[in-house]
Amino acid sequence: MAVAGGARAEAGFRRGPSDDRKSSRMIKVTFTDSQGTARTVEAQEGSTVMETALRNSVPGIDAECGGACACATCHVYVAPEWFEIVGKPSQIEEDMLDFAFEVRPTSRLSCQIKVTPALDGLAVMTPGKQG
């Protein structure tokens, strides 16, 4: 794939002031805790929602297994309006969710949610307690 460099001008490329040099897109994710405190952070495409939480010191995500879908301490509730876009858990994740506290229909393990541009604006709630 050709990468446009410097002053190279090609038909069809829009000249603009901004962000041709961004290699990955920043995507916003909002975490709201059980007390109602919301934190909106930037997530990197390709990382997971759990990694995003840890990187930004979002409380309420323990992630004891480091993202191996083996602990259920990264449990979140996906906002209802986002659940269809995020999608359902895999069978393995569903089995692991049995070990999470207070599971709801929109529960997911945040280490299993990959950040994509389609998730820009994603809202999740962290439970009152984890494993």
Residues within the interface to ligand FES (CB under 6 A): 50, 63-65, 67-74, 96, 109, 111
Of 25 and 44, the one with the shorter C-beta distance to ligand FES is 44
DSSP letter assigned to residue 89: P
For ligand FES, give the closer residue by CB, 20 or 55. Answer: 55
Q: Look-up: residue for tokens 């309006």?
A: 81
- Tell me the closest approach of the beta carbon of residue 33 to ligand FES, in angstroms: 18
Q: How far is the CB of 70 from ligand FES (least distance, A)?
A: 6
Residue 70: count of CB within 10 angstroms of its CB: 14
